[in-house]
Amino acid sequence: MTSNSTTFDGPSRSLQRNLALLCAAIIFCIPLIQPGQYIIHLLIMCLMWSYIYTSWSIMGRLGLVSFGHGAFLGVGAYTGVLLWNYLGVSPWLGALAAVVVTALLAVLIGYPCFRMKIVGHYFALVTLALSEVVRLIIIGLRDYTGGSLGMTPRTALAQGQEIALGAMQFADKRIWLYLVLVCWLLALYVWHRVDRSMARLALQAISEQEEAAASIGINVRAVKLGLMVLSAAMTCLGGVLYAQYQLYVNPENLSGIGVSLQMVFGVVAGGMFVMLGPTMGAVFLLLLSEGLRLLIGNDLHGVDLAIYGALLVIFIIFMPKGILGTLLHRYDTYVQKRRAKVDVPAKASATPAALSVLESRP
C-alpha cells in the first residue's frame, strides 16, 4: 500500500474481489427463499445506490471531487421518462439518448474547467452550481416535467401483465434485483479497470504536480475529461434505472444539491479508495435512513440531514479512509506483520536461493 493510502495493493485487493463474488452469489440466491417484497426492495435500493456511488468514486477518488453528479443523475432519469411519456421511445433507447446528453453536458462543463485549470475547491463549486442549475431548469419546465411535484412514467403493464420489456417495467421485483445486480458488478469491474490503468497513475501524477505531469507527455485535459465523461455516463444510467424502478421522478430527490452531497458522504463513509467502499457506504446510509424513519418517523423534518452532517464530520476527522477502508488497512497491516514474523526465522536458516524467493514475495 502506498504511503498516501490512495491504493490498496496488498492482500485486501483479492479479499475484496472474493467478497464481491460472495455477495453476488448470496444476493442471487436470496429470492429462492422468498424473503418478502420489502427485503427484496431494500436489496434493490442498496445495489442501485451502490452502483451510483461507485460511478461517482471512479472520478472522486482520483482528485476530481464533484458536487454535481446529482445533475447527471437527474438528466438520466428525466430524459428517459420524457422520451417515453411524450414520444413513446423505449426507455432502453432513452437510456442511450440520456447518456449522449449527459456526456455532452460533462464535456460542456469539464472542458472549460480543465482548459483553464479550475481544480480543487473551485471545480467542486462549479459542479455544485451545475447540480442546482439542472434542478431549477427541471422545475422551470413544469408544463413538461411536473415541476417540483415530479412526474410518473406512463405505465405499460396491463391488468395481470407482469413484464413490459420494451417499457423497462417489471411487476416482479426479482427481475429488478438481478438487473441491478448485473449493473453493480459491471460498475465494480469498471472501477477495477480504471484503478489498474494508466489513467489512475496519470491522475495521481496530475494531482501532485500538474505541470510536471504535462511535461512528461501526459495529456492532462484528455485524461480528466475522459474520466469525467465515464463517471457522468454511468451515473446517468443509474438515474434511468431509478426512474423506471420507482416509477416516479422528483427534482429534489434526483437532481438537487442534496443528492450530490449524499453521494459524496456515502463514498467517504464507506471508503473512497477501496473498490467496495461505495457499496459499504450505500448499505450504511440506507440502513441509517430506514432506522431513523422507524425511530423518529416523518414528523421531525431535517433531523436525518443533521445526523448525516454530524457523521460526515466524524468520519472525515476520525476515519478518513472510511469504514471499509479502515478495516482493510488494518487487515493488510495484520497480514504483513504475520508474514514478517514467519519470514524472519525462515530467512535466518534459508539458503541463498530460497532467500531470494522469500524476498520476492509480495
pLDDT tens digits, one per residue of 208-253: 556 656 666 667 778 889 989 999 999 999 999 999 999 999 998 8
Domain assignment present for residue 295? The answer is: yes
Domain assignment present for residue 36? The answer is: yes
Domain assignment present for residue 101? The answer is: yes
pTM comes to: 0.87
Predicted pLDDT of residue 2: 38
Domain assignment present for residue 4? The answer is: no
Give how many domains the chain has, as a whole number: 1
The mean pLDDT value of the chain amounts to 83
Predicted pLDDT of residue 219: 74
Query: Mean per-residue pLDDT for 256-275?
Result: 88
pLDDT tens digits, one per residue of 156-191: 887 667 888 888 999 889 999 999 999 999 999 999
Residue 358 has, within 13 A of its CA and on its CB side, a CA count of: 17
- What proportion of the chain, given as a percentage, has pLDDT over 90? 42
Predicted pLDDT of residue 100: 96
Domain assignment present for residue 3? The answer is: no
Domain assignment present for residue 2? The answer is: no
Domain assignment present for residue 343? The answer is: yes
CATH classification of the domain holding 241: 1.10.3470
Give the separation between CA 269 and CA 261, rounded to whole angstroms: 12
With a cut of 70, say whether residue 357 has pLDDT above it: no
Domain assignment present for residue 1? The answer is: no
User: Which residues, in sequence order, are CB contacts of 15 under 8 Å at separation 6+?
Assistant: 328, 331
Predicted pLDDT of residue 5: 43
Phi, psi of 238 (to 5 degrees): -60, -35
Among residues 29, 113, 27, 15, which one has the least CA distance to residue 66? Answer: 113
Predicted pLDDT of residue 1: 36
| Domain interval for residue 216 | 11-359
pLDDT tens digits, one per residue of 20-36: 999 999 999 998 888 88
The one-letter code for the residue type at 133 is: V
